[in-house]
Amino acid sequence: MLRIIFLLLLLPTLVFSGASAVVTLEMPVGARQLGMGESGVALGDDGNSLYYNPAGLAFGPLANEWELSLKLPQGADSGQFYTAFAARNRRGFLTRNEVWAGTASGMLHFDGQLWRDFLTVPLEGNAKLRDVVRTFIGTEVSLDSISGVVRNYNGVKTLKEEEPLVEVKIPFSIMVQDTVTAMLYETRTEKLWVGTAKGLLRFDGRGFKNFASEFGVRRITALANQGATLWIGTDNGLFAYRNGVFEQRGAVLPSQKITSIAWHEMRKELYVGVEDAGIARLIPKQNDNEKDKWSVFTLQDGIVDLSPRAVAIDSSGHIWVVHKEGLSHFNLMRWEQIRFENNEVHGITVSEKGTIWIGTNKGVWNYLPEYATPSGRKSETELGKNETEGTQGKWSHYHTGNGLENNTVWRVLSLGNDVWLSTGAGVERYHAAQNQVAFFYERLLPVLQLPDLYHLYTGVTFPLGDWGTWGVFLNFISFGETTVSDEINPDQVSSFNSSEVVLGLSYGTRLNRNWGMGLNFKFFYSALSSGAALHEPDATTMSYAIDVGILGRDLWIKGLRFGAVLANIGPNVYYVDKSSEQPIPLTWRFGFSYDLLKLPDHRIILNADYNRTVIYENSKGEIQPFYISAWKSWFNPETAEDGDNAFDTFIKSFQEGIVNLGVEYVYAGTVALRAGYLHDKTGKRQELDIGLGVMLSDMLQLDIASIQNVGNLEGVRDGQLRFAGLFRF
């Protein structure tokens, strides 16, 4: 039993108090947080928040959340400054989704982390700045003058200063200077098509091709692709581009002013919005010997009006058309109208899961049709396809009161779990949170060289839409195997494993835009000795505990977060004899976190935590309930002496807690360097933590951290390594 006795004496010094039981309740987790001095109460942005502060579940990226991703530029028109969107949906490791935004004077690119108005091109081999500029503009015309503009953009004045360059930044404005009116990313060819008020361009990731000579100066109004065919809507006709040839189509239409187009892959049809004429449907000819088959839907067919603004096709093949006063919905059998009273409708998009997002002048509407749900699809199969009513389903409305910065929504784009919006405030994003799985491992007390003394943790979070997020976690410590012998018969031995496990259920929800709260319900089992079978009583206990936390964001200044948690509210426990009850470690945790720097390629986060166990005994030695201990312990520190004044009492009370300080530097959203410091006067610990993190993609993050003892105190954790990962799905 010497092993267990020793560990019971030593392990509590690794947390907060040697006077409490079940140390696993207070064993910190996550190599990211542990690389920052074990701080994380106010960080609240990954699956380890289940331990540090469940209120982190109230905010993104753990919960669905709105974000102003790109502000409207100073002095820009609050109208349609961001005029078009296109996206590249990339799945898998080492990849991130990309978004392009057209503006009233050019275009921007979002690489999954940051917005940029330029393309970065590495200079490989003997390539010079002039070479990459030639590729970018796709011509020799004005090459020298444009190269001079790029040199100035890169802070280079002479050819000699150009020699050390290893990469060149080329602004998109060199090629895209007009109002962008339409954008389309073509997945098959991995090219971006950009329509402007003066023509059509194509971007292949390295440079542009301008189709002015082939297509002329035309105002592009809409783009859609059908396999190898690009459909182009203009204010003077519909065109198809295939194999390098432009062909005008739809000369028979009652109007040549095209407002929108969408290709229906399931039905092999093109739906075209035609100004003052309605909605046209095209079955394209298969060869030159055939003719296009056109039909036009008008007011007699049931559409809202003759001036459609946008067309979208959902995952079930239904057609949705935007009009000023509402939507026209075609279930492939008949049209129906959905009118928005006192709303002007501007844009529409459809998510992969079939949710319809509708942008209006009074916010954005989220609509999941009944037929797009599993039960609805089953009903359509049983009742006959398209017999269900399209207006049945779930509606949600987002506005400045519950997420948006500005109620005027011009454009909407669905991309994976996100929805991007052009609003009167800029580019806003609705992030639908993913499930997260956090896992963690560390060997404890490496100086003891006990391989079966280790700590494991795993936590999983599940977003609940507008209700917040819930999670479940498991925190486990193995004390290893112990062998005991009978005092009467030394040859008779028995062995047993000792361990503690904490199972928790968590929930967090937002109180308002800046504040959230969370709860942990924890059930634990501690087995210090069980089943030894040699005159030794079982030393086991089980019970429950509750954590209550709050988290505030953007307090006083943007990027400043504050968190507070009262952890481990629960009854006393005992192992063998009820007369020797022990309290569990009732603890206050406070933390601040601040984004010191947030630039395109650099981010610095500062963390500061303070943790104090607040177990209080009255004059009779009785442990007081949590609602008394939680405040009275602050005024009665264990080290208090007669004659102490209020200041002495405050200092001694503060010194009975643990101070955790940490910093994290992230480069380009891919590599993180971390450092932290832990000071525990009561436990006689001073530790320096260092950590490294690698973000392999939006899906996977790997972290490692190490403890280095500092000062003259004994470092029982010196050299201890922690390993962790975070997986999103």
Q: pLDDT tens across 187-225, in order?
A: 989 999 999 999 999 999 999 999 999 999 999 999 999
Cα angle vertex 351, ends 117, 71, to 5°? Answer: 30
Q: Closest Cα partner for 87 from 108, 60, 118, 103?
A: 108
pLDDT of residue 419: 93
Range among 6-10, 390-394, 411-415, 573-577 with highest mean pLDDT value: 411-415
Domain boundaries, the chain: 2-64+434-728
516/553 Cα distance (integer angstroms): 9
User: Model confidence at 452, in pLDDT bands (50, 70, 90)?
Assistant: confident
Displacement of CA 273 from its chain's centroid (Å): 36
What per-residue string of b and e applies to 124-136 under the rule 16 or more CB within 10 Å gives b? eeeeebbbbbbeb
Torsion of CA 156, 162, 165, 168, to 10 degrees: 60
Q: What is the C-alpha separation between 431 and 93, in angstroms, rounded?
A: 20
> Quick one: pLDDT at residue 378?
53
Give the pLDDT score at 380: 53
- 388: confidence class by pLDDT, cuts 50, 70, 90: very low
- What is the pLDDT confidence band of residue 431, given thresholds at 50, 70 and 90? confident
pLDDT at site 574: 80
Q: Note the pLDDT tens digit of each residue in 557-571.
A: 888 999 999 999 989
pLDDT confidence bin for 6, thresholds 50/70/90: very low
Q: What is the mean pLDDT of residues 331-341?
A: 90
pLDDT tier, 536 (very low <50, low <70, confident <90, very high otherwise): low
* Per-residue pLDDT tens digits for 259-278: 999 999 999 999 999 999 99
Residue 680 corresponds to which amino acid? D
- pLDDT the model gives residue 5: 47
Give bridge partners of residue 50 from the DSSP assignment.
none
Q: What confidence score (pLDDT) does residue 713 get?
A: 55
pLDDT of amino acid 95:
63
Q: What pairing do the DSSP bridges indicate for beta strands 515-529 and 658-667?
A: unpaired
Please report the DSSP string for 345-392 in residue order.
EEEEEE-TTS-EEEEETTEEEEEEEGGGSHHHHHHHHHH-TT-S-TT-
β-strands 587-598, 602-613 pairing: antiparallel
Phi and psi based region of residue 578 (left: phi greater than 0; alpha: psi -120 to 50; beta: remaining): alpha
Q: What is the pLDDT of residue 13?
A: 47
Burial category of 313 from C-beta neighbours within 10 Å (exposed 0-12, middle 13-18, buried 19 and up): buried
Give the three-state DSSP class for 476: strand
Task: Please state which of the ranges 419-433, 480-494, 664-678 shows the lowest mean pLDDT.
Answer: 480-494
The confidence band for 714, taking pLDDT boundaries of 50, 70 and 90, is low
Query: Is a pLDDT exceeding 90 seen at residue 481?
Result: no
What pLDDT is stored for residue 10 in this prediction?
47
C-alpha span between 639 and 656 (Å, rounded): 8
CATH number belonging to domain 2-64+434-728: 2.40.160.40
Q: Considering all CA atoms of the chain, what is the largest pairwise distance in Å, rounded to the nearest integer?
A: 107
Confidence of residue 370 (pLDDT cuts 50, 70, 90): confident
Q: Give me the chain's average pLDDT, please.
A: 86
pLDDT band at 1 (very low <50, low <70, confident <90, very high): very low
Confidence band, pLDDT 50/70/90 cuts, at residue 692 = very high
Cα–Cα distance, 633 to 631 (Å, whole number): 6
Helix, strand, coil percent content, the chain, rounded in steps of 5: 15, 45, 40
What distance in Å separates the CA atoms of residue 455 and residue 473, rounded to the nearest whole number?
14
Give residue-wise pLDDT tens across range 11-59. Answer: 444 444 445 678 889 899 999 999 999 999 999 889 899 999 999 999 8
Q: Residue 148: which of 175, 165, 131, 130 has the closest Cα? A: 130
Residue 371 pLDDT? 84
What was the pLDDT predicted at 579?
67
Mean per-residue pLDDT, 85-91: 84
Q: What is the pLDDT of residues 641-685, one digit of tens each?
A: 777 787 878 888 888 889 999 999 998 778 999 999 998 887 788
61 preceded by a cis bond (ω within 30 of 0): yes
Q: What is the mean pLDDT of residues 466-490?
A: 78
Q: How far apart are CA 327 and CA 311, in angstroms?
A: 10
Give the mean pLDDT of 64-80. Answer: 83
Say if CB 257 and CB 280 are below 8 A apart: no
Give yes or no for residue 368 having a pLDDT over 70.
yes
Mean pLDDT of 165-181: 93
What is the arithmetic mean of pLDDT over 563-585?
85
Ranking 136-145, 327-336, 408-417, 694-703 by mean pLDDT, the lowest is 694-703
Collapsing DSSP states into helix, strand and coil, what is residue 404?
A: coil
* b/e 583-600 (16+ beta carbons within 10 angstroms → b): bbbbbbbbbbbbeeeeee
Higher pLDDT, 599 or 304: 304
In the predicted structure, residue 712 carries a pLDDT above the cut 90: no
Cα distance between residue 445 and residue 691, in whole Å: 18
The Cα 353–Cα 365 span in angstroms is 16
The 3-state DSSP class for residue 101 equals strand
Bridge partners of 663, per DSSP, are 606, 675
Q: Check pLDDT > 70 for residue 163.
A: yes
Is pLDDT at 594 greater than 50 in this prediction? yes
Q: Which of 194-208, 436-450, 520-534, 552-566 has the lowest mean pLDDT?
A: 520-534
Nearest CA-CA partner of 3 in 365, 529, 469 = 529
Predicted local confidence at residue 17, as pLDDT: 46
Per-residue confidence (pLDDT) for residue 2, from 0 to 100: 44
Asked if the model's pLDDT at residue 386 lies above 60, the reply is no
Residue 491 has pLDDT above 70, yes or no: no
pLDDT of residue 157: 83
Mean pLDDT of 627-635: 82
What's the sign of the alpha-carbon dihedral 173, 174, 179, 180?
negative
User: Among 383-392, 413-422, 506-515, 618-627, which stretch is predicted with the lowest mean pLDDT?
Assistant: 383-392
Per-residue tokens: 564: 């507070």
Q: What is the DSSP string of 150-199?
A: HHHHTT--SHHHHTT-SEEEEEGGGT--S-EEEEEEETTTTEEEEEETTE
